[in-house]
Amino acid sequence: MKALAVTFFASGIWDTVAALIYFFMIGTGRKIDDPLIDPFFAVFLGSFFLCFAYLQFMSAFNIRRYAFNVGCLIIGRSFYVIQLYAYMAFVKDFPSTFWFTGIIDSLFTILYLIFSLMGGLSIRELFLPKRLISDNHSGN
């Protein structure tokens, strides 16, 4: 489970870097204008990356308990990679600026799956949260 926790923490660092890039480099009139994006949406996306990063940092400290968060990121990163490469392949003049992010996100997704299974987590634990019943709950 340690390898999964370290990988999840590292992917939080990757999302923090992405947030900083969106905050300061991506947007109309900034260093990266391809694809063209309004500064509001660049900051909006960056704020989501910071949320994802925080989720990953905090989950990494108790990865078995928060395995569901790993599953959520598997779904999110997979969707992003599929969408990115579909656009690059099928949308005329769509810029290939971010092809490398698809590779990095694919790598994190694969590592999540490998380290989860090696750590003894089931697919069910990744995609369906466990229901915890408190000792103080009487059931009435």
Q: Enumerate the domain spans of the chain.
A: 2-127
- What is the pLDDT, as a whole number, of residue 46? 92
Q: What's the chain's average pLDDT?
A: 89
Q: What is the pTM of this model?
A: 0.83
% pLDDT > 70, the chain: 91
Burial of residue 48 (CB within 10 Å: 0-12, 13-18, 19+) is middle
- Spatial contact of 49 and 16, defined as CB atoms under 8 Å apart: yes
- What is the pLDDT, as a whole number, of residue 135? 56
- Low-confidence stretches of the chain (pLDDT < 50) are none
- What is the pLDDT, as a whole number, of residue 121? 93
% pLDDT > 90, the chain: 69
Measure the CA–CA gap between 125 and 131, rounded to whole angstroms: 11
What backbone phi and psi angles, to 5 degrees, belong to 28?
Answer: -55, 125
- Spatial contact of 77 and 71, defined as CB atoms under 8 Å apart: no
- What is the pLDDT, as a whole number, of residue 28? 72
